[in-house]
Structure formats: structure tokens, C-alpha cells
Amino acid sequence: MKIAETPSPPYYAVIFTSIRNDNPDGYAETAARMVELATEQDGFLGVETAREQLGITVSYWRDEESIRKWKHHTEHTLAREKGRTAWYTSFKTRVARVERDYGMDAG
Amino acid sequence: MKIAETPSPPYYAVIFTSIRNDNPDGYAETAARMVELATEQDGFLGVETAREQLGITVSYWRDEESIRKWKHHTEHTLAREKGRTAWYTSFKTRVARVERDYGMDAG
């Protein structure tokens, strides 16, 4: 997992913050599959994820339209429903427009 | 660490993604102090953080002005400089306007 190499702003970020229950059944496989599937979508720019007590996954998108399409992707919709009923105690999704960014690269 | 209880959008998110080097000196203390200090700032709405290979800290703010003031806070400025020179291999900061959110609460 690396820092996402996103283009110059503006672009969009979907910040997904979650707390898991203790049911492992199928979670890791589905989480990995959703990352794999997201990277194949038109408008996908990158993803960053980390989990301690809290899980944070930020995915980056070209525009609102690509976020909307990904939200309505059938396999993603089924995975979200499973998340709601089987894997998460609570979660929050925030859709945000990235207006500026700056940073430091290795080396 | 809980999911931040932010107000209705719009508000702002500062997404800070980083990769650490292996120098522990003072890092944990400064990271904790920065969270403590951030919560005291006018316009601060909440913070969420997790670290595996990648560290992700998302802080939430009322408006651009409160982000600007926090960026120029003296102790925060010194901590960022220390991060740049002593603790991080690479990092990226993205400032984003949260346009909508939704989620599920425990219970």
C-alpha cells in the first residue's frame, strides 16, 4: 500500500470510516475484491487504506459521475449490503471534492 | 478512537496520508499532542486516524479559515517541520470540501 498518485486537483475523495464487529467470514476476501474491482472502474484514481480500532479507506475519483457509477455497480452494491448486515458495527461515508494537495515524496 | 460526529455538510476534511521511517524518537508524543491541540482550535469538528503500512489521519473543520489558522499555529508548524525532517519518508495532504455523507450507527 502506497500513497495514491493522484492528478492535480480538483478531483473527488470518498472517505469511508468504519468499525468492524468480530465476524471474519468472507470480510478480507470481499474487501480485497472491492479494491481490485474499484481499480478497474472508469474514473478511479487511487485508494489508500489503514485499520486499527478504526478502519479508514479513502478512494479517489475523477468526478461525481464516476462515484455514482461505482456506487451502483451490482457487485459493489451487494458487498455494501453484506457490510451493513454482517461486518460493520458502524460506518460513515463522506464524499468530498479535493481542492488542493501538497506533499513530500521519498528520495 | 471513534467515528467523528461531524455536523451536516458542507464542512472540510484534511486528509493526511503518510509513510513513516523507523525513527521513533518523539513521534508518538508529538502525534498525540497534535490531536490534543487540534481539538482545542476554533472550527475543529473531529479527527479519525489509523496506521498500518500507511498512516491515514482525517481531520474535519468548519471552514477554510479554521484550516488556515491551524496550519499557521506555531506549535503545529514546528511539528510539521519535524515530521518532514525526522519522521516521514513521504506524505501527502489533501484539503477537501465534504459535500454529502451518510452512514450507520451502532445500535
Contact at CB, A56 and B52, closer than 8 angstroms: no
Say which of B13, B55, B90 has its CB closest to residue A103: B90
Question: Which residue in A74, A57, A20, A92 sits closest to B45, CA to CA?
Answer: A92
What count of residues does chain B have?
A: 107
A89 contacts chain B (CB < 8 A) = yes
Model ipTM over 0.85: yes
Mean pLDDT of B79-88: 95
Inform me whether the C-beta atom of residue B28 falls under 8 Å from chain A C-beta atoms.
no
Q: Which residues of A touch B19 (CB under 8 A)?
A: 2-3, 106
Angle between helices B64-72 and B74-82 (to 10 degrees): 70
pLDDT tens, position by position, A23-64: 999 999 999 999 999 999 999 999 999 999 999 999 999 999
Rg, C-alpha atoms of chain B: 14
- What pLDDT is attached to residue A107? 56
Q: Half-sphere exposure of residue A57, counting CA atoms within 13 Å on the CB side?
A: 14
Q: What is the DSSP letter of B27?
A: H
Contact A99 B97 (CB under 8 A): yes
In this complex, is the C-beta atom of B17 within 8 Å of any C-beta atom belonging to chain A? yes
Instruction: Flag if B103 and A91 touch (Cβ within 8 Å).
Output: yes
Alpha carbon distance B81, B58 (integer Å) = 19
Say yes or no for a CB contact (<8 Å) between A15 and B17: no
Percent of chain A with pLDDT over 70: 99
Report the alpha-carbon distance of residue B77 to residue B56 in Å, rounded: 19
pTM listed for this prediction: 0.96
- Work out the mean pLDDT of chain A and round it to a whole number: 96
- Nearest chain A residue to B16 by CA: give it: A103
How many angstroms separate the CA atoms of A43 and A78, rounded? 21
